[in-house]
Amino acid sequence: MTGPGLAVFDFDGTLVQGDSLLPFVERVVGRTRARLSLVRALRSAFTLRARGRLTEMDTRTMAKAILLRETLAGIPAAEARAAADRLVGWVRWKAPIRDALLEHKRAGRHILVATGALGLYMPRLLADLPVDGLLATDVEEVDGVLTGQMPRGNCVRAVKATRFAAYLEEHGPFGPTWGYGNRPSDLPMLALVDHATVV
């Protein structure tokens, strides 16, 4: 016997318009510092790539790692989570995909959100949706203070697909599976479902 079906949704660019990371960082450290830090992070990542020093991370993941270290290291975790409340007003749902999520739930399917966005704020942004599980990018916390490190990596591309496969193994068995994501970062995850929709 197989269990109920499962539908997995990416968040940034799939369920919502745009990317949530920079708006979140702006609400933690301010718009000017966040944007200057992003420019520095991108410049550093491209420089490392040009010098052939990016062996384990792609350029975007390296830029994200640098940005998080520059802006979130030393921030109390409670302060960062409070910023999630201020991020709620930023969200602009993509109505057809949000409606698809609700329809899957009405059909009795397990709803999973798998995203490169940070686990610091995703529970707050998903609070009004019937989500059963969340895979997100973790930010390390030591004694209530953020380090800016991503201990389990950036939950995109191959990392997201690996974590999704582990989730299916741990929480299954499931019946038919559906997936919603955008290209190219979600294609490895979408390759694991029966019915894939590229947004």
Q: From residue 28, how far is each of 23, 75, 82, 103, 133 by CA, in Å?
A: 9, 9, 9, 34, 26
Q: Looking at residue 1, what is its pLDDT? A: 47
Indicate which CATH number applies to the domain containing 118.
3.40.50.1000
Whether 34 is in a domain gets the answer yes
What was the pLDDT predicted at 57? 66
Question: Token pair for residue 16?
Answer: 């919502």
Indicate left, alpha or beta for 84 from its phi (over 0: left) and psi (-120 to 50: alpha): alpha
How far is it, in rounded angstroms, from Cα 135 to Cα 44?
Answer: 28
Amino acid letter at 148?
Answer: G
Domain count, the chain: 1
pLDDT given at position 47:
86
Q: Let me know if residue 146 belongs to a domain.
A: yes
Give dist(CA 94, CA 16) in Å, integer: 5
| pLDDT tens for the chain, residues 1 to 199 | 477 899 999 999 999 999 999 999 999 999 999 999 999 999 998 887 777 766 666 888 999 999 999 999 999 999 999 999 999 999 999 999 999 999 999 999 999 999 999 999 999 999 999 999 999 999 999 999 999 999 999 999 999 999 999 999 999 999 999 999 998 889 999 999 999 999 9
Predicted local distance difference test score (pLDDT) of residue 46: 86
Q: What is residue 184's predicted lDDT score, i.e. its pLDDT?
A: 87
Q: What was the pLDDT predicted at 48?
A: 79
Tell me, yes or no, whether 33 lies in a domain. Answer: yes
Span between the terminal Cα atoms of the chain, in Å: 32
Q: Kindly report the backbone phi and psi dihedral angles of residue 70, in degrees, each rounded to the nearest multiple of 5, phi listed first.
A: -70, -35
Q: β-strand 195-198 against 6-9: which pairing, if any?
A: unpaired
β-bridge pairing 141-142 and 177-181:
unpaired
Domain range for 11 is 6-198
Collect all residues with Cβ–Cβ distance below 8 Å to 119 and sequence separation of at least 6. Answer: 134, 136, 137, 138, 139
| 13 domain residue, yes or no | yes
Query: Does residue 1 lie in a domain region?
Result: no
Burial 162-179, CB ≥16 within 10 A → b, else e: bbbeebbeeeeebeebbb
Retrieve residue 30's tokens: 């301010």
